[in-house]
Amino acid sequence: MTVFVEEDATTEIETPAMIAPTVGTGQVRIVLSWGAEPRDLDSHLWTPSDYHVYYGDEGAADASPWAWLDVDDVTSYGPETITITSVQSGTYYYSVHNYSGEHPLSQSGAKVEVYNHSGLVRTFYVPASGTGDWWNIFSMNGGAITTINAIADDSSRLMDRTMPPKAGQ
């Protein structure tokens, strides 16, 4: 959704916005947003059972893996949203992939916000330096978030798996 905000009587500012339901106890929402370029950044979450939630497998909210990609934006700005509906014991890993690859991640203005039932608990900004198509952002275990925040050529959790192309691309 885009919101138009009137700065003064002669200027309108167009800004992306998201309205989302509140996050319940035992839940976590991860929200990715970015600038006009690159067009398509993708959220990737690996659950403690090593289930990979992303555009190729959106997961499930009401069954295992108890996490799902509820919003997948492919036309700039975001948001891209993954919600963990029931946090399981073990370690989660969250990364962002520069799917379109036409602009460096370090210049994307990307931001990731992590929410729980109390509200916003952590904000991550893409590093201003680094090369590669992956932004490895954090791990989470028992609600404790460990910062990674590094741009790399791959995701350490992706291993040798091949991701399918997106529909229509």
Residues 60-75 have pLDDT tens digits of: 999 999 999 998 888 8
Domain ranges in the chain are 20-152
Q: 20-152 architecture in CATH?
A: Sandwich (2.60)
Is the distance from CB of 91 to CB of 146 less than 8 angstroms?
no
Given a cut of 70, is residue 42 above it in pLDDT?
yes
Quote the pTM value: 0.83
Query: Rounded to whole angstroms, how far apart are CA atoms 167 and 55?
Result: 10
Given a cut of 80, is residue 59 above it in pLDDT?
yes
Residues 6 or more apart whose Cβ sits within 8 Å of residue 128:
106
pLDDT at 4: 47
Query: Rounded to whole angstroms, how far apart are CA atoms 27 and 86?
Result: 5
List the Cα angle 143/111/99 in 5-degree steps. Answer: 105
Is the distance from CB of 143 to CB of 136 less than 8 angstroms?
no
pLDDT at 160: 45
Report, as an integer, the average pLDDT of 46-54.
94
**Which pLDDT band, with edges at 50, 70 and 90, does 9 fall under?**
low
